[in-house]
Amino acid sequence: MALLPTKSLVFTVRRQEAELVVPCEPTPHECKPLSDIDDQEGHRFHVRGFHFHQSNLSMKGKDPAKVIKEALAKALVFYYPFAGRLREGPNRKLIVDCTGEGVLFIEADADVSLVDFGDELYPPFPCAEELLYDVPGSNGLLNSPLLLIQVTRLKCGGFIFAHRFNHTMADGTGLSQFMIAVGEIALGALVPSTPPVWERHLLSARDSPLITYQHEEYSHNTSGPENGTIIPTDNLVCRSFLFRQSHISSLRRFVPHNLRCSTFDILSACLWRCRTKALELDPNEDVRLICIVNARFKFNPPLPLGYYGNALGFPTASSSIGKLTQNPLEYALKLVKQAKTKVTDEYMKSAMDLLVTRGRPNVKLAGSYIVSDLTRAKFKEIDFGWGEAVLVGPETCWELISFYIPSKNKKGEDEIIVPVCLPASAMKNFVKELEDMLKDEQTAHADI
């Protein structure tokens, strides 16, 4: 594990006035309800992400902002709901009013080169607020643009593509599908290689709702505070950690040979255990690890190819703090593996029924740590003509969630960057816990 240094790069960004990009051809004006997975409380916010692109000699003389803006107008013909606005109907049901009003687009220039960001790119990114400007009045849930894009040209000929999207419209897989379509059209395609599929009714509650799972992931208390400890939000420290294949192999020392597990499984178990120990909470309290799982292929039949709505399950592992921290890593690992097996067709239908019958509750935040694996997402496949991004990731990190961001070293070997946010005292404990987990005769002197 390499603790990545905090960066203090300062530069100036000159922005043009934001404009609305509309579909370049007429599109249907209709109202399209979101699914009951889409409009749950936990999705009612905007997500911000960054794509860093290098210069490309073959694109010399071409303006990335102009190329992307023109391709975006063409892609919105196929993905026209993104150009609409959200309305709220009875029982808080969200509906897309396909008005064709467009998405927000900003052109900008920065007096910095990609190399100035250093050898490693990772959140939190310097001057993030300037690289993705929140246009005043644009970030509401209802009656606001569903997508904001800023393209910032760099001195080196590279650029930063930043986006802010309304999470109720799509998950990471759905958004990357849309962005890949923009890239394909920028490269000359007339239509996206994967036609978009709306079909949000496939993820709506049954006519006779039936909750067949406990669904520990959702808050059952809609009138008062949740039980459990929510970590303090003052004096928070956000740091990124780099995990190489050697680090994952080192963690596998703690796993019996007959217990098969993925990189996600063992990394999640390790982070959950170390983070819980670092917070020094009451050992009698319960804590949860919520895994964000793409459930597209868990349905029977699977969702159609091209479905770009939210198709996420939130299976949960739970334990008392005492058992989690005092038992070997194998204990946490088995809980993570068991949680992931919960996500089935019936589990997802049960979740939809719960969301509708209980007023679309939020995920349970108290005592929870959420992990989201972006290594399998297709953001790296987005190519506007300048090649794949050298890094794609969220703008920053939050106290309750960590994203697993794919990266490659100079040898082309896969690595994972994990941003973590904790109170300063807990962060010091967390680093020590990770060091102790990874330390052995071969690694005690390296990368830590």
Q: What letters, b where the CB count within 10 A reaches 16 and e where it falls short, cover 395-412?
A: bebebbbbbbbbbeeeee
Residue 124, preceding peptide bond in cis (omega within 30° of 0)? yes
Pairing of strands 316-320, 286-294: antiparallel
Query: What single letter denotes the amino acid at residue 427?
Result: M
* Closest C-alpha to 393, from 146, 128, 1: 128
* Closest C-alpha to 393, from 402, 183, 139: 402
Cross-strand bridge partners of residue 369: 289
- Maximal C-alpha separation, the chain: 66
Q: Which residue has the tokens 């920065």?
A: 110
Is 201 considered catalytic here?
A: no
Is 116 considered catalytic here?
A: no
Between the CA atoms of 37, 150, 381 and 141, what dihedral angle is there, to the nearest 10 degrees?
0
**Contacts by 85-89 with C-beta closer than 8 Å and gap 24+?**
85/142, 85/143, 85/144, 85/145, 85/146, 86/141, 86/142, 86/143, 86/144, 86/146, 86/166, 86/168, 87/31, 87/142, 87/143, 88/142, 89/33
- Distance between CA 248 and CA 58 in Å, rounded? 38
Question: Tokens in use for 369?
Answer: 């740590």
Q: Which of 46, 163, 167, 215 is catalytic?
A: 167
Pairing of strands 159-166, 46-53: antiparallel
Q: Which positions are catalytic?
A: 167, 383
